[in-house]
Amino acid sequence: MAHGADPYADIDFDEITENTGLAPDEIKCLKVCFDLFDTKKVEFLSADDLGEIMRAMGFRPTEEELKELLLEIDEDGSGEIEFGEFSQLCATFLVEDPDMETMKRELKDAFRIYDKEGLGYITTETLRGLIGELLAPLTEEE
């Protein structure tokens, strides 16, 4: 089986992780996406590609929003989006934390599902079952 060159050889994973909070596996996935958009194989994306990328991610930015976004992510002012800049752009959508009110609302909604009688609490048995489903079964001591 022939092996090609390592497609991740030029990536500074530590720097990108430090700048974005992304894990190495996520960075590799973004590199695959970046390469798909980099159809000319020039190791950067043009400002024109930005709109296509955003639409592919499910967003519908206006021309003005695209200009602002480019100014924000094009750190070296080249008008070209290198892989590190692309990673930072994507990271804003991948690791963006929801605001506190949204989190509270979602937790309350989730809680209501398991508080079937509307008593304002759930039993330890229900909580044990939930943790067991989401993480791992608990011992009696835990």
Q: Comparing 2 with 134, which gets the higher pLDDT?
A: 134
Could you report the per-residue pLDDT of 78-122, keeping only the tens digit for each? 888 999 999 988 887 776 566 677 777 777 777 777 777 888 887
Where would I find the H helices in 12-78?
13-20, 24-37, 47-56, 63-73
Could you report the per-residue pLDDT of 24-61, keeping only the tens digit for each? 999 999 998 899 888 888 999 987 788 888 887 777 88
Q: Quick one: which of 56, 53, 55, 58 has its CA closest to 73?
A: 53
| Per-residue confidence (pLDDT) for residue 33, from 0 to 100 | 87
